[in-house]
Amino acid sequence: MAKRKLRRAPAAPKSVPPVLPALIGPRRAVPREIPRPPYALTGDPGRSRPHPVRSPEVIERMRAAGRAAAEILRYAGHHVEPGLTTDKLDAIVHEKTLSYGGYPSPLNYRGFPKSVCTSINEVICHGIPDSRPLANGDIVNVDVTIFLDGVHGDTSATFAVGEIDEYSTMLIRETRNSLYRAIDVVKPGVPINEIGRAIENHARKFKLGVVREFIGHGIGEEFHGVLQIPHYYDSRARTILEEGMTFTIEPMLTLGDPSLGVWDDDWTAVTLDGRRSAQFEHMLVVTADGCEVLTMCDDDAAMGHDASGAAVAQAGGADANP
């Protein structure tokens, strides 16, 4: 038998102290004049429309929702600092979303109790904002979704809290880069599994794990549509991309084994080995010759990417993240 190269486990230690559940405040109110998605009262999103291609009129509305989501995310990110509780971050996102005339999509989606997801350190996704203050050295993903003019805009980013260690810096940088490698392959005629292949190939170069249980999704009038976008290579994901399809790509990469567990709150997903995880998410539409990222923000531009996801030539180059 040929000798296989052993894939050495990354040296990153487990994240200490572990993130623990804290107090969850009451549900925030939404003024009656703000239009709500169908699940706002019952928690039940109902069925998604089966057809993944959206009309130009819907895409135009998604452009506005996507832009709003990106602005809210950037606004939230600027508030991230040691001492801020994730509950306060929830208030910031909630109020900012209302100021656009939008509804914070997570609120009561399948019973989710808050207006944004905040996932710290070894929390992979769906962290519930609570009374825990952010600590220097933490990393936190903020996942913003707004329901505006009948459609959802969904985007997330992982932020450093104060000074973070080298592993966390690399994890954040390469998780973002894996998202851009994936966006680069999106165009009509390409099978969906090329997206996951690009992410997995990128992750492997940095010995990062790829979470398999949570995937990108179709989006539009519904929060989670029928399209499924795995972030790893799945030979069965053979659907061919078509112009007008709208979906998210939202890779979660880990410093260790990507196996996960879920807390008793039925939402908070954590790595079983306690090592850190990062995530970035964009919502996009497939165009005639590529794609348009609907949740682009100035910070992406500063990182050297334009709305097509392409690296823009500039001093330092696309991968020279600060």
Minimum distance of ligand MF3 from residue 176's CB (angstroms): 15
213 with 252: CB under 8 angstroms? no
Kindly report the backbone phi and psi dihedral angles of residue 58, in degrees, each rounded to the nearest multiple of 5, phi listed first. Answer: -65, -40
- Helix or strand holding residue 193 (H, E): helix 193-205
Residue from the set 90, 154, 200, 300 that interacts with Co ion by CB under 5 A: 154
Nearby residues of 315 by Cβ (< 8 Å), 6 or more positions away: none
Buried b (16+ CB within 10 A) or exposed e, 241-275: beebbbbbbbbbbbbbebebeebeeebbbbbebbb
Angle among Cα 131, 265, 16 to the nearest 5 degrees reads 55
If the CB atoms of residues 67 and 217 are measured against ligand MF3, the closer one turns out to be 217
143 binds Co ion per the rule CB under 5 A: yes
Q: CA 104, CA 84: separation in Å to the nearest integer?
A: 20
Tell me the number of residues near Co ion by CB under 5 A: 5
222 binds Co ion (CB under 5 A): no
Instruction: Decide: 281 and 154 in contact? Cβ < 8 Å.
Output: yes
Closest approach of ligand MF3 to the CB of residue 312, in Å: 26
88 exposure class (CB count in 10 Å sphere: 0-12, 13-18, 19+): middle
Q: Which does 255 bind (CB under 5 to 8 A by kind): Co ion, ligand MF3, none?
A: none
Among 85, 105, 177, 248, binds Co ion (CB under 5 A): 248
With respect to ligand MF3, which residue has the nearer C-beta, 38 or 83? 38
Task: Tell me which of Co ion, ligand MF3, none is bound by residue 280, counting a contact when its beta carbon lies within the kind-specific cut-off of 5 to 8 angstroms.
Answer: none
Q: How far is the CB of 189 from ligand MF3 (least distance, A)?
A: 26
Nearer residue to ligand MF3 within complex by CB, 10 or 127: 127
Output 107 or 203, the one with its CB closest to ligand MF3: 107
Q: Which does 110 bind (CB under 5 to 8 A by kind): Co ion, ligand MF3, none?
A: ligand MF3
| Partner interacting with residue 87 (select from Co ion, ligand MF3, none; CB below 5-8 Å by kind) | none
126 binds, among Co ion, ligand MF3, none (CB under 5 to 8 A by kind): ligand MF3
Indicate whether 115 belongs to the interface with Co ion (CB under 5 A).
Answer: no
The residue ranges that bind ligand MF3 (CB under 6 A) are: 106, 109-110, 112, 117, 126, 143, 145, 154, 217, 248, 250, 281
End-to-end Cα separation, the chain, in angstroms: 45
Shortest distance (Å) from residue 154 CB to ligand MF3 = 5
Say how many C-beta atoms besides its own lie within 10 A of residue 91's C-beta: 18
- Helices 86-99 and 56-79: crossing angle in degrees, nearest 10, is 140
14 vs 212, beta carbon nearer ligand MF3:
212
Instruction: Note whether 37 and 223 are within 8 A (CB).
Output: yes
